[in-house]
Amino acid sequence: SSPVTGVQTCALPILADENFSIDTLAEQMNMSRSNFYRKIKALSGMSPNDYLKALRMNKAAELIQGGTRISEVAAQIGRASCR
């Protein structure tokens, strides 16, 4: 499996945690923050923060298309506040 798939596997179950960070994800991937940054940048063309935002937005779009209410979507992607 590719490193991007590994990132998604680690990140998707805990997207709802507002305190989830790139440092947490790098740690779960058993990589230093700098190596993680380089790997994500090389594979996705985005910074890890932008990649995580894109992952959250893609998950949100999927949930909305499935009929999930916006407030529930916000909670599930780590955005408890809809402001």
What is the per-residue pLDDT for 5? Answer: 75
pTM listed for this prediction:
0.77
Contact status, residue 77 vs residue 56, Cβ threshold 8 Å: yes
Angle, helix 33-44 to helix 48-65, in steps of 10 degrees: 60
Torsions phi, psi for 73 (to 5 deg): -60, -45
What is the per-residue pLDDT for 9? Answer: 79
Tell me how far CA of residue 43 lies from CA of 37, 68, 76, in angstroms.
10, 31, 26
pLDDT tens, the chain, 83 aa long: 566 777 777 877 777 787 778 898 889 889 999 999 999 999 899 999 898 889 889 999 999 999 999 989 988 888 766 55
Contact status, residue 48 vs residue 25, Cβ threshold 8 Å: yes
What is the per-residue pLDDT for 76? Answer: 85
What is the distance, to the nearest Å, from the Cα of residue 21 to the centroid of all Cα atoms in its chain?
Answer: 9
